[in-house]
Amino acid sequence: MRADAKRNRERIVEVAREVFREQGYDASLDLVAKRAGVGAGTLYRHFPTRDDLLDAIMQSWVDRVQETADRALAHEGGPRELLLAWFEEYVRLISVHRGGPAKITCAMGDEQSPIRTKCEVLRGAGDRVLDQLRSEGALKDDVSALHVARLVGGIATVADQGELDDAAVRPMLEVVADGLLRPAAG
């Protein structure tokens, strides 16, 4: 790719990230092209579909997923604290852009989704957290990373659409965590 074409591509991704953060994933691609200082044809040459552009935007996000899971796994405390630390990080990961939680949660488990590979990375990180809890005997049987991702993604979607703050989200995450964990032996 020529240097100027590469600069245009990077600029489009950068501007799209800003526009989508402001207006959601359904924002006008013409607005993205205009703000990036390129024609619509240039945008579509690099990104033939909206999903191709979303995929490029999400790549840096994917790079953060593993380190986020690592942070949650290093969290001090018992199984409930570990699970809640992951849930809070998960909500932050999928809530970077307005409309992101719904888009990612709906794509989770959809083999035809253009962001399927990104969802698989996220689900794999969730599996790491759940595997640790399984090895400790803290997780109920038959809990899958897909189900957890959809549950927590649903909460993130409500928070995104309702513009709820962390204090309003935490109790919902606690309900999910308490439902997934075995009762502590007493």
Tens of pLDDT, residue by residue over 112-165, are 987 888 889 899 999 999 999 999 999 999 999 999 999 999 999 999 999 999
State the burial class of residue 12 (Cβ atoms within 10 Å of its Cβ: 0-12, 13-18, 19+): buried
Contacts of 101 (CB under 8 A, 6+ apart): 91, 94, 95, 153, 156, 157, 159, 160
Highest mean predicted confidence (pLDDT) among 72-76, 95-99, 109-113: 109-113
Mean pLDDT across 85-100: 90
Q: Does residue 105 have a pLDDT over 50?
A: yes
State the burial class of residue 160 (Cβ atoms within 10 Å of its Cβ: 0-12, 13-18, 19+): buried
Contact 160, 100 (CB under 8 A): yes
**CATH 1.10.357.10 intervals, the chain:** 58-180
58-180 maps to which CATH number?
A: 1.10.357.10
Q: Does residue 185 have a pLDDT over 60?
A: no
**CATH 1.10.10.60 intervals, the chain:** 1-48
1-48 maps to which CATH number?
A: 1.10.10.60
* β-sheet bridge partners, residue 181: 139
What pLDDT does residue 67 have?
Answer: 87
pLDDT digits (tens, 9 = 90+) for 51-92: 889 888 877 777 788 888 988 888 888 999 999 999 999 999
Mean pLDDT across 1-17: 91
What pLDDT does residue 1 have?
Answer: 67
Predicted TM-score of the model (pTM): 0.73
